[in-house]
Structure 1
Amino acid sequence: MRLPLRTKENPVELPYQSAHEELHFVNRAGWLRAAVLGANDGIVSVSSLIVGVAAADPNPSAILLAGGAGLAAGAMSMAAGEYVSVSSQSDIERADIEREQQALLDTPEEEEAELASIYEARGLSKSTAALVARELTEKDALGAHVRDELGLSEVHTANPLQAALASGVTFSIAAAIPVVAAVLAPETQVIPTVVGTTLVSLAALGAIGARAGAAPLLPATLRVLFWGAAAMAITAGVGHLFGVNV
């Protein structure tokens, strides 16, 4: 919306942008977290599996079989795990909302006073906090308590199916990268090819995740790269320590 502006230097009314819509990405947090987790796990776990198998038998058929099995099992495990865990979170949220709804029926005055105390603790004067609590209670008492007492909102509401789908799909796509790299690489170069491809993929994952959330690229990229590489190194170290291929 453009409004007129007058200054001492220029008494002529000039248009300026006084209000604007800000672009936020917090509504992506739920599925983005699950997607990054799934992709990261897909790259690291399947790459580690392929490296272990290739150290024992670099035959493309054996690598393809192991990688394909790891991809299928991992994708289903990630999707099921996300669905179950996020469903548990959703159950807790619904139970809290139901308790709050019952409290509003049983003790409406105490609940309004509780709401006022929350606003007062946030910096409003006692009278203003009481007024805000009264008006919000008259408009939507449950919504006010869910938002300001429980800290829940539609943006952050748990969505089990969305999390499961995001995690399962990204796991499958990410896990396919080291499998393809291993199958296409010469038998003598399977391990370095998979390791190199994995590191590049982790860096790309960090950058893509940061871009999707409009976050700084470098910290996110380095974080995913470091912890992914560390996980692979620890896996290889355990296998070497016990004399087995992990």
Structure 2
Amino acid sequence: MTATADLGTPEIHHQHRDVTGGWLRPATFGVVDGLVSNFALVAGVVGGGAGAHAVVLTGLAGLTAGACSMATGEFVSVSSQNELAQAEIARERRELATNPQEELRELTLAYEAKGVRPELAAEIARELTADPEVAWRVHVREELGVDPDDLPSGWTAAASSFAAFALGALVPLLPFFFGASTLAAALIASSAALIVTGGLTARLTARSEWFGASRQLVLGGLSAAVTFGVGLLVGTGVS
């Protein structure tokens, strides 16, 4: 390695993935929820003795209702979280304007709590507080644990959950579109999808793919078994 290289720009050894973009959680939850809930719904109506036409109609209704519900819930929850964050950010900015010395002391104590020497902590706090635009952002990150410039998007969460739920909920219905009349084909398709989604999710989160796939399959299978049993009991009782 040359001297130029030694004195040059430091090497970047790795890059972190985006963990705050607001899409992974609703997308993962949406596809799993759509797959499990609609397969359980299909299993329930099949267990109750419904024909293929009724199964498809019920499944499409479950897909539409579930996707809309997921999108609405994600949008409202993320938007409400952002509104709360914005309210606390506004409060922090007011406190910085009306009581700057107390806020400076709070920031100094925060750095001291992280192990910085008191004199150095005070100096760092003064430097960061010199620019008002930097000051409120630093206080928000330190006191609220929120990055004000990277708040999750309600629209992103809603769109991700809607598309993911619809995609997952479509899987158990596909065999019935092609003429299936029993639950076997839907069971195979849904099981394969649970394994794939579990494995992919585990890969994204740096977990064992076998663990993620088996966990997804077991939990989804239990949900479907319970719903099938309820449908079977209700169908028998009604008939």
Name the structure 2 match of 1:106: 98
- How many Å apart are 1:128 and its aligned residue? 1.2
Change (3 A) 1:137 1:201: same
Contact 1:26–1:155 (8 Å) recurs in 2: no
What amino acid maps onto 2:234 in structure 1? V
Percent identical residues: 35
Partner of 2:147: 153
* 2:47 aligned with 1:48: no
Structure number with the bigger relative contact order (C-alpha 8 A, sep ≥ 6) is 2
C-alpha offsets along residues 24-80 of structure 1, whole Å, 9 cap, x if unaligned? 123355210000111011001111111122223453221211111111111101101
Count of aligned residue pairs for this structure pair: 233
Please, which of 113, 118, 124 is the counterpart of residue 132 of structure 1? 124
Please state how far the C-alpha of 1:82 moved relative to its aligned partner: 0.7
Shift, 1:210, TM fit: 3.2
Would you say 1:209 and 2:201 are equivalent positions?
yes
Does residue 224 of structure 2 align to residue 232 of structure 1? yes
**Paired letter, 1:105:** A
Q: Secondary structure at the match of 1:83?
A: helix
Q: Which residue of 2 aligns with 1:143?
A: 137
C-alpha separation in 1, matches of 2:60 and 2:205:
31
The 3 A distance-change label for structure 1 pair 209 and 106 is same
1:206 Cα offset (Å): 1.7
Asked if the contact 1:25–1:214 (Cα under 8 Å) also holds between the matched residues in 2, the reply is no
| Matching residue's letter, 1:197 | A
Which piece of structure 1 moves more, 20-29 or 48-57? Answer: 20-29
Task: Using the TM superposition, name which of 155-164 and 47-56 deviates more.
Answer: 155-164
Instruction: Work out the CA distance in 2 between the residues paired with 1:129 and 1:216.
Output: 42
Q: Give the AA of the match of 2:81.
A: Q
> Does the aligned pair in 1 maintain the 2:26–2:157 contact within 8 Å?
yes
1:106 offset after TM fit, Å? 1.1
In the alignment, structure 1 segments of 5+ residues that lack a partner are 6-12
Corresponding residue for residue 179 of structure 1: 173
The alignment's TM-score, normalised by the length of structure 1, stands at: 0.84
1:212-238 residue CA offsets vs partner (Å, 9 max, x unmatched): 455543333333333222322333344
Residue 15 of structure 2 is matched in structure 1 by 23
Deviation at 1:16, TM superposition (A): 10
Q: Secondary structure at the match of 1:26?
A: coil
Partner secondary structure for residue 11 of structure 2 = coil
Q: CA deviation at 1:18?
A: 5.0
Distance 2:20 2:138 in 1: 23
Moved more, 57-66 or 92-101: 57-66
Give the distance between the partners of 1:92 and 1:29, measured in 2 at CA: 18
